[in-house]
């Protein structure tokens, strides 16, 4: 598959902090799985979220969840949080993101993250032609 067909991804500052808290072996394995699946088909390998987080999706890897929003027009994925689920399949991550979304800070974080995308990271215009 050509590079222009892949999605690029960017982490919000808070999502980067989440990743830094993960054990190194989990972080490395999650990164490999994420690149293999999410960069290729971010919708097909994840589940939609609901309510205030409806625009977002959740990628599951073992006991971990990666929450992101897909931007098809620019073939980009904005990662907004990473967290571990508990025995009841819940995670503080979803509650934290809901709170941020209610305050408008989640959309603000995504916008700030994508302001720094370089032209080299953007898919070529030819990748949009079918």
Q: Does 98 reside within a domain?
A: yes
What pLDDT is recorded for position 85? 82
What pLDDT is recorded for position 92? 82
Structural domain boundaries, residue 11: 3-115
Q: Does 128 reside within a domain?
A: no
Q: What is the CATH number of the domain that holds 25?
A: 3.30.2310.20
The two structure tokens encoding residue 78: 């904005």
Q: Does 26 reside within a domain?
A: yes
Please work out, in degrees rounded to the nearest 5, the angle formed at the alpha carbon of residue 13 by the alpha carbons of 11 and 19: 65
What pLDDT is recorded for position 104? 85
What pLDDT is recorded for position 107? 85
Q: Does 124 reside within a domain?
A: no
Q: Does 120 reside within a domain?
A: no
Residue ranges for the chain with pLDDT beneath 50: 1-2, 123-130
The answer to whether 31 and 23 are in contact (CB under 8 A) is no
The number of domains in the chain is: 1
Q: Does 130 reside within a domain?
A: no
Strand order in the sheet with 47-48: 8-11, 76-84, 64-71, 56-61, 47-48
The answer to whether 57 and 46 are in contact (CB under 8 A) is yes
Q: Does 105 reside within a domain?
A: yes
């Amino acid at each position: 598959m050509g590079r222009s067909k892949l999605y690029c991804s960017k982490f919000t500052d808070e999502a980067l902090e989440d990743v830094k808290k993960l054990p190194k072996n989990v972080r490395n394995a999650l990164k490999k799985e994420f690149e293999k699946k999410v960069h290729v088909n971010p919708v097909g390998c994840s589940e939609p979220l609901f309510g205030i987080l409806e625009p977002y999706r959740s990628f599951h890897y073992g006991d971990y969840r990666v929450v992101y929003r897909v931007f098809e027009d620019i073939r980009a994925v904005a990662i907004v949080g990473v967290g571990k689920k508990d025995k009841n399949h819940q995670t503080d991550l979803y509650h934290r993101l809901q709170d941020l979304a209610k305050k408008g800070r989640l959309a603000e974080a995504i916008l700030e993250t994508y302001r720094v995308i370089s032209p080299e990271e953007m898919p070529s215009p030819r990748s949009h032609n079918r």
